[in-house]
Structure 1
Amino acid sequence: MKPSASNTDKIHSNPISPVISQVHVDDLGISSILSNKHVTLNIDHEVDKDEALILAMGYKQEFKREFSLWSVFAVSFSVLGLLPSIAACFDYQQLVIGMSPIPWIIAVIFVTSVALSLAEVASAFPVASGTPYAVSRLAPPKYQSFLTWITCWSNWMCQITASPSVNYSGACMMLALRSYNDPSYTPTNGEIYALTLGIQIVHGIISSLPTGWLAKFNSAGTTCNILFLFIVFVMILAGNNRQELNPDIEGLTKFNVNAISWSLYNQTEWPTGIAMLMSFLGVIWAMSGYDSPFHLSEECSNAAVAAPKAIVLTSTVGGLIGFLFMIAIAYTVVDIDLIAQDPQGLGQPFVTYLAQIMNGKLVIAATALTIISSFFMGCSCMLAASRVTFAYSRDGMFPGSRWWKQVLPLTQTPVNAVWINLFLGQLFLLLMFAGDVAIGAIFSVGGIAGFVSFTMPTLLKITYARDKFVPGPWSLGKWSSPIGFVSVAFVAVMIPILCFPYVRGADLNPEEMNWTALVFFGPLLLATIWFVVDAHKWYVGPKSNLDEYIEYSDQDELEGIDGKVEHVTSNEKS
């Protein structure tokens, strides 16, 4: 093949390597940063279908593809961490609207619609950067850079707050268990912070391991999470001894009657409908993590199919299991008001709930299993976040991107991205010294930031790009637009709701304010100012790192086998 005139300078300035494979981007039928430019990629080694796809998307294959559908689902389900998530979110659901499972099932329906739309996008753009890459392909050219920039920062904030919030909750449960065994002990914020830091460091070490090891670790973690969730579920129902533990409550039966179990108990100063929407935070945070397969696409075989399937499996299976778990809680909880008062000073409503219905040894066992599940969940969160930081650094988004995008040759993983995330996560955790309401903001931020990122490509897909979106092999078909509209509408309602304080009027003060608006929209405002003042001059969205492979040709010069990948020898290269 004769080199084109446009590449003459490259050929004279770079060593000539034998071409083993050619990928003709436009023949793959995808929308990427290289498509519709008549690009041929001359590769010096044989490429398979997975590598051809990521090359056509504009990136080198830098990770080993050692995640299967099960492995990716394992990471995603571990990030979901239903048992520790439900435990951590007791404050945001049961202590807002009562014990009823109704808010959970309603919220899950809408969350699943968001997940389905996200899965369709993941199939069309299976790259580690996730939704920002999709936005860059779907947005109007005039606003492409800005919308991609905002989506990146929003998704990144979702990712880097996930691990510290999970590990903060896990540390609190550990110390609550000590308080349960030693009523004279009350943990300090300094002790909680130090314990959380220790857990974060262990997770940082694990997340720096080779991909194959991580796949096995997360598979084991998911197996434990599912098993422990089932065990605690059985313990709640079979170990329920609430009649003997609460002799002062007259007429208490082994299980609550339907009228009590499914009733709403508004504990806010807002109308019941608003309170129910506010309680969705618990469901949203507990169900977050289904986007993880998107960010592991470059480490997964057959990513265009496996990643969206893992997203849908995580959302549907997690939603159903969580609903069953919520039913168990609804039929066994004794007194929501007493849990809120925390008479034993445990600081963890879930542990206080267990103490209402179980004997001491069972409380310790159930809490211990929840803590172990929380450990696996936090590790998976850190893994997913490191891949996001790597991907965005590859596009030059952050200060110091050249450091954070590096892949350690020994492990073939982005180790620097792991540790900068850990450092930033510990900075977020300083909010705990400002009080319980302040630290609760990182839970809300995770929900809002994730929603903004997840639905931005969906919004563009059903509006501006409705005629240009090219679906991948996994598609919603005729349901794409209806489900997309439901997703966007739900997110539009929930973003302001998640910023509401739980009190209002004269009761609203700096200590009771919802810090979410400051913690999320503050950094997002700074990112916007940065873009307007400076970043618009150099940030263009996803950038290819394939310069040495790219050859631009007239379309009639492109030839390939089956229009996909062509293998040639060095002797056939002129």
Structure 2
Amino acid sequence: MSSSDSVKSLPKVTSTEIKPAMSRISAILSHRTMRSRPEGVDGDINMDAEILASLGYKQELKRNYSTLEVFGISYSIMGLLPSIASTISIGLTAGPVGVVWGWFITGFFLIAIGIGMSELASSLPTSGGLYFWSYHYAPQSMKVWLSFFIGITNSLALCGALCSITYGLAGQILACANLSHQDLVITDPMTYGVFAGCIILQTILVCLSSNFVARLQSVSIYVNVFLILLFFIAVPIGTKNNIGSFNDGAYIFGDFENFTSWPNGWSFLQFGLMPAVWTIGAFDSCVHMSEEAKDPSKAVPIGIIGSIGVCWVVGFFINIVICACMVPDIQRLFDSPTGQPLAQIFLDSLGRKWAIAFMALITVGQFLMGASVLVAISRQVWAFARDDGLPFSSFIKVVNKKLATPIRAIIFSSIISLAIGCLCIVGSTAANALFSLSVLGNYLAWVTPQILRFVVPTAAFVPGKFYLGPFWSPVVNWISIFFQLFIIVMCCFPDDNVVAKDTMNYTVVLNGGAWILSMLYYFFYKRKYYFGPKSNLDPDDLDPETAEVLEGLDAVESNGAAPPRKV
């Protein structure tokens, strides 16, 4: 039977069966294009555009990202050594055991999360990703408001990720300044000023052409690899020369300390797991590049799982070296005038000049991290605005045709991040909520479509190129689901069991307030205009077979399932 006959012979569907029917049709169209894949780069890109059309969207952005560059954007955002520099103080709250074993244990579960996300990304490769999947798998009565909630949550979480990365960058820049001028007193307004300046520079960089930003990911990979190699060589040599000896294995792998009033077990979980959870995060950035990636059903899973795996293994050894080379007095690291424990470790091991040089290199890596996450944020914001999910969507969703870049979405994302970053002025306790803000929002956005895929009877999952199979896929996905739910709960706990102004977890206030305001905005206004993912295809964008199928679906939708597709 020809592929055309297959489509024409599809059974009639009712309005309540429309999403499963769309899944079957998407699968047929995808397999048809795979079988008839044209040879050459242009043919591959045309096939990717046709698969995107089967999901209801026209190709507006250029597919400049190779598999390596898709990997690069996630790996760049993780930015191992710069990220560890920003989060090492959290892990040290549970001592070397928290730093080393917390990282190792977390990495196992992050691989499971990456596998679950990769299966979804391979099945439905679109920049909207999480909110699109949530709409696709949710029950009919929940589709629209749930996809809106996930779209807002994911957008704010990614903005929180940019804030936390750039806040760490500001701290590292000021640590370099303190190392050079020991009489410098670092203040909260000073931190925000540096933070804002870095956001503006990252915005200018990311507004350049799509092709340039894609090449930037390769540069970021090289910078991060160079930093890691230099770290593995210079820090142990410096420790041997300046300190004289290393900490032994019993200290590195077995010394647990508790600098909180929580019980030891909970202290390990809350502070030992968080550095890896935050560092090896934002791998959904690969998903948001689906409409700029070549062969996204394959490239995105490789980018997600590859970046998690590399950062898990290499980060584990970085943490071992840190614990081997640092002075065992952890309280002294917390009280360092540099404000950065890793900067103090470099100062002890390498001396002042080399410590300044090393921290300066780390700031370069951290700056590129921020630029990469801004790219991912802008694509999520652009995709959500394309479906009219944001205020001023008609303005934000416009793509600069000359540069093939959503410049307005980039600027909008930067403005939101600058507003959230005002927490830097409030103080370090509120500013530290930036780290949990991104984790809590991202994990909620990640886990929702995973749960819907398995618990909603009408959810029709059609495997893409990446799929573990009917046995291992549910096993791995449920492991990742339970871990994500645990992390969501853990992110809401305060740093101390005696809650005061200085120990309160402001993540609950930030996320809770944002969710309440967003849903009030939806129910009182936006529900009149937002109906979930909608097609922006014109008849000329479709091949005849796809057009015939979508016209048939429009006839079904016009009977009351959803607003008709504008095709």
Are residue 414 (structure 1) and residue 389 (structure 2) matched?
no
Q: Do 1:113 and 1:484's aligned partners in 2 also have CA atoms closer than 8 Å? A: yes
Deviates more, 1:473-482 or 1:396-405: 473-482
Deviates more, 1:171-180 or 1:60-69: 171-180
State how far apart, in whole Å, the 1-side matches of 2:91 and 2:58 are.
Answer: 44
Out of 514, 524, 529, which is 2:520 matched to?
529
Shift of residue 220, structure 1, vs aligned partner? 0.8
Partner of 1:222: 221
State how far apart, in whole Å, the 2-side matches of 1:142 and 1:467 are.
Answer: 13
Partner of 1:456: 448
Distance 1:24 1:486, change over 3 A: farther
Out of 262, 266, 269, which is 2:261 matched to?
269
Out of 42, 61, 79, which is 1:81 matched to?
79
Partner of 2:557: none
State how far apart, in whole Å, the 1-side matches of 2:68 and 2:19 are.
Answer: 27
Tell me the percent identity: 27
Distance 1:417 1:307, change over 3 A: same
Map 1:142-541 → 2, pairs under 5 A: 142-241=141-240, 244-245=242-243, 254-262=245-253, 263-279=255-271, 280-343=273-336, 345-464=337-456, 468-477=460-469, 478-505=471-498, 508-541=499-532
Distance 1:32 1:319, change over 3 A: farther
State how far apart, in whole Å, the 2-side matches of 1:81 and 1:440 are.
Answer: 19
Q: Do 2:137 and 2:459's aligned partners in 1 also have CA atoms closer than 8 Å? A: no
Shift of residue 257, structure 1, vs aligned partner? 1.5
Q: Do 1:34 and 1:58's aligned partners in 2 also have CA atoms closer than 8 Å? A: no
Deviates more, 1:262-271 or 1:56-65: 262-271
State how far apart, in whole Å, the 2-side matches of 1:417 and 1:132 are.
Answer: 17
Q: Do 2:165 and 2:366's aligned partners in 1 also have CA atoms closer than 8 Å? A: yes
Partner of 2:107: 108
Distance 1:26 1:328, change over 3 A: farther
State how far apart, in whole Å, the 2-side matches of 1:551 and 1:387 are.
Answer: 23
State how far apart, in whole Å, the 2-side matches of 1:59 and 1:482 are.
Answer: 33
State how far apart, in whole Å, the 1-side matches of 2:357 and 2:503 are.
Answer: 34
Query: Structure 2 counterpart of 1:63, which letter?
Result: L
Query: Structure 2 counterpart of 1:278, which letter?
Result: Q
Distance 1:556 1:504, change over 3 A: closer
Shift of residue 310, structure 1, vs aligned partner? 0.8
Deviates more, 1:389-398 or 1:536-545: 536-545
State how far apart, in whole Å, the 2-side matches of 1:282 and 1:486 are.
Answer: 20
Partner of 1:545: 536
Q: Do 1:54 and 1:61's aligned partners in 2 also have CA atoms closer than 8 Å? A: yes
Query: Structure 2 counterpart of 1:420, which letter?
Result: F
Distance 1:139 1:104, change over 3 A: same
Deviates more, 1:293-302 or 1:203-212: 203-212
Q: Do 2:94 and 2:258's aligned partners in 1 also have CA atoms closer than 8 Å? A: yes
Q: Do 1:33 and 1:57's aligned partners in 2 also have CA atoms closer than 8 Å? A: no
- Which digits, 9 at most, give the CA deviation of each residue in 1:352-390, with x for residues without a partner? 222233322221222122111101111101111111110
Shift of residue 547, structure 1, vs aligned partner? 4.3
Shift of residue 33, structure 1, vs aligned partner? 9.6
Distance 1:212 1:515, change over 3 A: same
Q: Secondary structure of 1:545's match? A: coil
State how far apart, in whole Å, the 1-side matches of 2:200 and 2:473 are.
Answer: 42
Give the TM-score, by structure 2 length: 0.86
Shift of residue 23, structure 1, vs aligned partner? 10
Shift of residue 229, structure 1, vs aligned partner? 1.7
- Which digits, 9 at most, give the CA deviation of each residue in 1:264-297, with x for residues without a partner? 2121111122112212221111111211111001
Are residue 69 (structure 1) and residue 61 (structure 2) matched?
no
Query: Structure 2 counterpart of 1:447, which letter?
Result: V
Deviates more, 1:147-156 or 1:332-341: 332-341
Shift of residue 123, structure 1, vs aligned partner? 0.3
Q: Do 1:171 and 1:196's aligned partners in 2 also have CA atoms closer than 8 Å? A: yes
Shift of residue 149, structure 1, vs aligned partner? 1.4
Distance 1:24 1:356, change over 3 A: farther
Shift of residue 259, structure 1, vs aligned partner? 1.5
Shift of residue 141, structure 1, vs aligned partner? 0.8
Deviates more, 1:97-106 or 1:364-373: 97-106
Distance 1:313 1:555, change over 3 A: closer
Question: Which blocks of at least 5 consecutive residues in structure 2 are unaligned?
Answer: 11-17, 30-41, 551-567
Question: Which blocks of at least 5 consecutive residues in structure 1 are unaligned?
Answer: 1-21, 246-252, 560-574
Q: Secondary structure of 2:503's match? A: coil
Higher helix fraction (1 or 2): 2
Shift of residue 232, structure 1, vs aligned partner? 1.5
Partner of 1:55: 53
Distance 1:24 1:391, change over 3 A: farther
- Which has the higher Rg, Structure 1 or Structure 2? 1
Partner of 2:14: none
State how far apart, in whole Å, the 1-side matches of 2:25 and 2:536 are.
Answer: 16
Distance 1:542 1:359, change over 3 A: same
Shift of residue 443, structure 1, vs aligned partner? 0.5
State how far apart, in whole Å, the 1-side matches of 2:459 and 2:165 are.
Answer: 40
Q: Do 2:94 and 2:256's aligned partners in 1 also have CA atoms closer than 8 Å? A: no
Distance 1:420 1:551, change over 3 A: closer
Q: How many residues align?
A: 523
Partner of 1:141: 140
Shift of residue 535, structure 1, vs aligned partner? 3.0
State how far apart, in whole Å, the 2-side matches of 1:536 and 1:379 are.
Answer: 33
Q: Do 1:26 and 1:36's aligned partners in 2 also have CA atoms closer than 8 Å? A: no
